[in-house]
Chains A and B, each alone.
Chain A
Amino acid sequence: MYRQRFLLKLLVRKELKVRYRGSVLGIIWSYVKPGVQFIVFYVALGVFLGLEQSSTNKSGLPNYAIYLFSGIILINFFTEALGNASRSIVGNGGLIKKIYLPRQLFPVASVWVSAVHFFPQLLILVVACLFSDWHPSFLQLLAAVAGFIIIALLATGLGLLFGAANVYFRDSENFVDMLLMIATWASPVMYSWTMVQHKLGEAWYSIYQVNPITIAVETFHYAFWLPTTDGSAGIPPHLLSLWIPVGLLVSAAVLVWGQLTFRRLEGRFAQEL
């Protein structure tokens, strides 16, 4: 176990070093990119498109830029983690078919690398929140941690699954890309959950809510966006008591499923790659 931790650490470090090799700003890029992204959202969507709540647009969301960004960074994390994890086995094929080593480290390392890229984005979000008079409670921060864990487990589970499947069918790479595109729209990142409830009705809304990504995005809204508003918007009912446990459970189940599938398929990696 210790040996695996050390190897995992080196694999993550390798990935980060290789990513930023030959660039002057290096890891600072991972601050610049989300920072610029936030400013673009704020100006283009909040100011130009007028999605922000104002006297002329009563139905808009207050602090829309923060609403959007808190969801986006989580989706960014998920997209990068799952996308890279799905490609990690094929990408490291040269090694896997020559040396025996614990192969599940590659998808796991991809998720860790994405987590390293997630934290600068989180920092930008927190700075933006502080400018908007943010005062979260301890419970709200805890909910955000749960949301992050939900996404990390889900990305690892699906990453193991599709990483292994990709060895046999390269189609799964494209399938994952499609899945990731849907993920952005199938969770309340750009819009509010109340719209879904109004349009779909309670039954379908419950199904929509089971999606762990939806739950995780809502925990981030609850932790980062809600405490910057007057709090009148409200959060989905039973988010803490029901949906967070459901999200953790679904993600954990996906992780177990991914691990079992990976174990079943990994015996033939060396010859198929």
Chain B
Amino acid sequence: MTTAIEVTGISKQFVLRHTRSLKEAFIWLIKGRKGDLSEKFHALRDVDLVVEQGETVALLGFNGSGKSTLLKHISGVMIPDSGTVRTRGKVAGLIEVGAGFHHDLSGRDNVYLNGAILGMTEEQINERFQSIIDFAEIGQFIDTEVKFYSSGMYLRLAFSVAVHTNPEVFLVDEILAVGDEPFQQKCIAKIQELAAEGRTLVVVSHDLDLVSRICSRGVVLDHGHVTFDGSIHDAVAKLRGA
């Protein structure tokens, strides 16, 4: 088996209070750089995570435990203070629904823009365009500006574009919350299909029943530490018990 994601001993510190003005920074400089310009805390501390190709992993934990931060490190958006992150193949991150969508553009334009942002070429988008709108069931609304979409339609299109990027590693952060029941079923089926094809999946969700259906492994984060790593059922049990 090949390793898809290898996170070794990463730590990340964030500042609690930002200094945004030159004045404060200047005073700090002429005072001889005394003290820290800003307070810091660890959002991730010594996190190790190895995910094999084809695994389906759920990242669980309470609000602010560092799940999204960890996903951002895997996708390359953030760079750790120490430790290394290595990934194999193309990584597609759905860190948030339709992050690359622009409200004033039509659904069609957004499919192209978002597809390109997620790393698709022009030919790939042309080729998969029909399949994207079929999956999203947007139909005649494809040339409407997305600001007039219902939030569910918006989500469908965003999700549809993302799954059509054909990534080897798929990162999903809290996106299955919207969407009606049939569409949720469809998304889950699609995710299971991707997993069956041997794609790697890392899902963040607070919907414990949902993740137990699509993931086989659970990793629990607490204040930036990995406190549990094992089967999804044990992970869910631990979280519920705690």
Q: Do the beta carbons of A98 and B25 come within 8 Å of each other?
A: no
Q: Let me know if A48 is at the binding interface, CB within 8 A.
A: no
Q: Using a Cβ–Cβ cut-off of 8 Å, how many residues does chain B contribute to the interface with A?
A: 30
Q: Let me know if B30 is at the binding interface, CB within 8 A.
A: no
Q: Which residues of A contact B100 (CB under 8 A)?
A: 95, 99
The 6 closest A-B pairs by CB, nearest first: A98-B99, A100-B76, A98-B95, A7-B116, A267-B79, A270-B77
Task: Name B103's closest neighbour in chain A (CB-CB).
Answer: A18
Type the 1/0 row for A261-273, where 1 means its CB is closer than 8 Å to any CB of B. Answer: 0000001101110
CA distance A268 to B104 in the complex (A): 29
Q: Let me know if A131 is at the binding interface, CB within 8 A.
A: no
Total contacts A-B at CB 8 Å: 68
Q: Do the beta carbons of A95 and B117 come within 8 Å of each other?
A: yes
Q: Let me know if B56 is at the binding interface, CB within 8 A.
A: no
Q: Which residues of A contact B96 (CB under 8 A)?
A: 98
Q: Do the beta carbons of A171 and B21 come within 8 Å of each other?
A: yes
* Least Cβ–Cβ distance between A27 and chain B, in angstroms: 16
CB contact under 8 A between A99 and B117, given known A17-B105, A270-B72: yes
Q: Let me know if B198 is at the binding interface, CB within 8 A.
A: no
Task: Name A101's closest neighbour in chain B (CB-CB).
Answer: B117
Type the 1/0 row for A1-45, where 1 means its CB is closer than 8 Å to any CB of B. Answer: 011001100110110011001000000000000000000000000
Task: Name B91's closest neighbour in chain A (CB-CB).
Answer: A100
Q: Let me know if A170 is at the binding interface, CB within 8 A.
A: yes
Q: Let me know if A97 is at the binding interface, CB within 8 A.
A: yes
Q: Which residues of A contact B76 (CB under 8 A)?
A: 100
Q: Do the beta carbons of B119 and A169 come within 8 Å of each other?
A: no
Q: Do the beta carbons of B104 and A21 come within 8 Å of each other?
A: yes
Interface of B is mostly: loop
Q: Do the beta carbons of B93 and A10 come within 8 Å of each other?
A: no
CB contact under 8 A between A99 and B95, given known A10-B113, A171-B21, A270-B77: yes
Instruction: Show the binding face of B for A, using Cβ within 8 Å.
Output: 14, 18, 20-22, 25, 72, 75-79, 91, 93, 95-96, 99-100, 102, 104-105, 109, 112-113, 116-119, 121-122
Q: Do the beta carbons of B21 and A169 come within 8 Å of each other?
A: yes
Q: Let me know if A234 is at the binding interface, CB within 8 A.
A: no
CB contact under 8 A between A169 and B78, given known A2-B121, A6-B121: no
Q: Which residues of A contact B77 (CB under 8 A)?
A: 96-100, 270
Partner of A14, one of B14, B109, B122: B109
Q: Which residues of A contact B95 (CB under 8 A)?
A: 98-99
CB contact under 8 A between A6 and B122, given known A98-B77, A271-B78: yes
CA distance A97 to B14 in the complex (A): 14
Task: Name A3's closest neighbour in chain B (CB-CB).
Answer: B121
Q: Do the beta carbons of B119 and A3 come within 8 Å of each other?
A: yes
Q: Which residues of B contact A231 (CB under 8 A)?
A: none
Q: Which residues of A contact B121 (CB under 8 A)?
A: 2-3, 6
Partner of B78, one of A170, A171, A270: A270
Partner of B99, one of A11, A94, A169: A94
Task: Name A168's closest neighbour in chain B (CB-CB).
Answer: B20
CA distance A241 to B87 in the complex (A): 52
